[in-house]
Amino acid sequence: MNPNPYLEQAMEMVKAQAGVKQMTPAEIVEMTKEVAEGLNNYVSGTEEVESEIQEPFIEPKRAIRLNHIICVECGAKFKILSKKHLASHGLTSDEYREKWGYKKGTSLVCKSVTQKRREKIVSTKIWMKTSKNSKSEKNDSDSKPDKKK
Ligand SMILES: [Zn+2]
C-alpha cells in the first residue's frame, strides 16, 4: 500500500522537527515527502554500492608474499591458494584473478614456491642442455674413432 517504506520513519523525523519549530501543514507534508525520498535513495544507494564493491581483505598486489599468499577474500594465509579454497568463496582461479585484477596466468602461490618452481625449470633446462651436449660429443667421437677421449 505504501510505496515508500521510509515514509513512517520520515514522519517521525518531521514530527520531531515540527515540535522544535512552527510548521504549516503544507510544510510538514512537503518535508515528510522529501525526507522519505531522501531516506529511500540513501538506503538503496548504499545497498547498491555494498553489493557491487567488495572491500578486499588485503590489497591484491600485496597479497602474494615471499612465504605465503593471502586470500583477498578472507585474509587466510597459504603457501598455495588452492582451487578448493577458492571454491569455498564461489570462485574459480580465473574468476579470482579477474575479480582482484591479477594478470591471467598469475600463479596463486607464494613467491618462494614460484622461485623454487623457476629453479626447477632452469635446472631441468640445464640438464637437458648438458645431456644433449654429451650426446653430441659422443656422436663426434663416434664419427672420429681416432680421437679417443
Ligand atoms: Zn579465502
Could you identify the residue written with the cell 663416434? 142
Arithmetic mean of pLDDT over the chain: 83
Residue-level pLDDT at 135: 56
What tens digit of pLDDT does each residue of 92-120 get?
Answer: 999 999 999 999 999 999 999 888 888 88
Model-level pTM? Answer: 0.49
Residue-level pLDDT at 118: 87
Residue-level pLDDT at 2: 53
Distance 76 CA to ligand 1 centre (A): 6
Of the candidates 27, 32, 25, the one whose C-alpha atom is nearest the C-alpha of residue 10 is: 32
Distance 112 CA to ligand 1 centre (A): 20
Question: In this structure, what is the dihedral angle of CA atoms 74, 76, 78, 80, given to the nearest 10 degrees?
Answer: -10
Distance 129 CA to ligand 1 centre (A): 41
